[in-house]
Each structure stands twice: as structure tokens, then as C-alpha cells.
């Protein structure tokens, strides 16, 4: 398993492997087709990485810094099913990434499609807590807000 800087080819490969719920979440949160949204996110994130397994892209993740509060980060990521089949690797490295962000940012905020139960369980395992806030997305969707404060760690 390794991390590399994203290329359009990597992003196309990852996007074709995502589950329907992830594709729905991307579209409902951005209003863009998932591939377009992921390319845009990769360009705007600092940092952004592609997860590679045997030279094949199987995930993408990154972080946005809040444009209004430099102490707030918005981490994001989407992973192909084969990466989720390696839970120890995914959980260990995800936790390391999130903990590293906590050294740089006071708060990390994630908005997740309210029926994306797998992502919700994953966020909770990482230590994020639901705020109880729900925000409307496109196509009648709803997004739950999850927060991780550096002081929680």
C-alpha cells in the first residue's frame, strides 16, 4: 500500500470503483458529476492522495482548509470496496492521518449523507461525534455534521 499524488487517470479509476451510495453523496453535496467533483476536490485539497495497492488506485482522500477559519479542516475520502476489505490497514492509516490533522487544526468537520451508514460508522470509529445538525443537500438529500476537536484526542 502506498500514497501518490493524484492524476486524472487515478481519479477516473477510483471513481469507476465507488459504490452507489458514495456516488450519490458526491453528487448531492456538490451538484457535479462524481468524476468532475473528485477532480475538482483533488485540485483544491491540500494535501490530496491516491491510495495505491499493487500499482492500482483504490482510494482518494484529502483535506480542505476552511476559507474563513484557519483552525478548521474538512477531511474527505472515498474508497473502493477492495480497500474496505483490508480493514486493519484502512483503519490504522486513517487514524494516523486524522490524528496528524489534529496537530494542525483545532476542529475537523465532515458532512456525510444521512443514509451512508458505512461512512457514519467509520467516522464514529475515528472519533468524530455527531453534532445533531442536519443540512439539506441536492435532490432532497440530507447531510449529518460530524466534528472531531483536537482536544478530544
pLDDT for res 17? 95
Domain count of the chain?
A: 1
Task: Judge whether residue 24 has pLDDT over 60.
Answer: yes
Domain that holds residue 23: 2-152
pLDDT digits (tens, 9 = 90+) for 108-123: 999 999 999 989 998 9
pLDDT of residue 153: 53
67-125 residue pLDDT tens? 999 999 999 999 988 876 766 667 778 878 888 888 888 999 999 999 999 899 989 98
How far apart CA 134 and CA 151 sit, in angstroms, is 23
Whats the size of the chain, residue-wise?
153
Residue 140 sits in a domain whose CATH number is: 3.40.630.30
The model's pTM:
0.89
Amino acid at each position: 500500500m502506498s500514497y501518490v499524488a493524484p492524476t486524472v487517470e487515478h481519479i477516473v479509476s477510483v471513481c469507476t470503483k465507488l459504490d452507489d451510495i458514495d456516488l450519490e453523496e458526491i453528487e448531492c453535496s456538490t451538484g457535479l458529476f462524481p468524476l468532475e467533483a473528485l477532480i475538482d476536490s483533488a485540485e483544491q485539497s491540500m494535501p490530496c492522495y491516491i491510495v495505491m495497492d499493487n500499482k492500482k488506485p483504490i482510494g482518494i482522500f484529502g483535506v480542505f482548509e476552511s476559507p474563513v477559519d484557519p483552525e478548521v479542516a474538512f477531511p474527505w475520502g472515498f474508497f473502493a470496496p477492495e480497500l474496505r476489505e483490508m480493514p486493519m490497514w484502512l483503519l490504522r492509516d486513517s487514524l494516523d492521518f486524522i490524528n496528524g490533522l489534529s496537530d494542525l487544526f483545532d476542529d475537523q468537520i465532515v458532512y456525510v449523507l444521512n443514509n451512508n451508514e458505512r461512512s457514519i460508522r467509520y467516522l464514529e470509529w475515528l472519533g468524530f461525534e455527531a453534532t445533531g445538525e442536519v443540512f439539506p443537500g441536492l435532490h432532497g438529500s440530507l447531510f449529518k455534521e460530524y466534528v472531531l476537536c483536537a482536544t478530544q484526542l
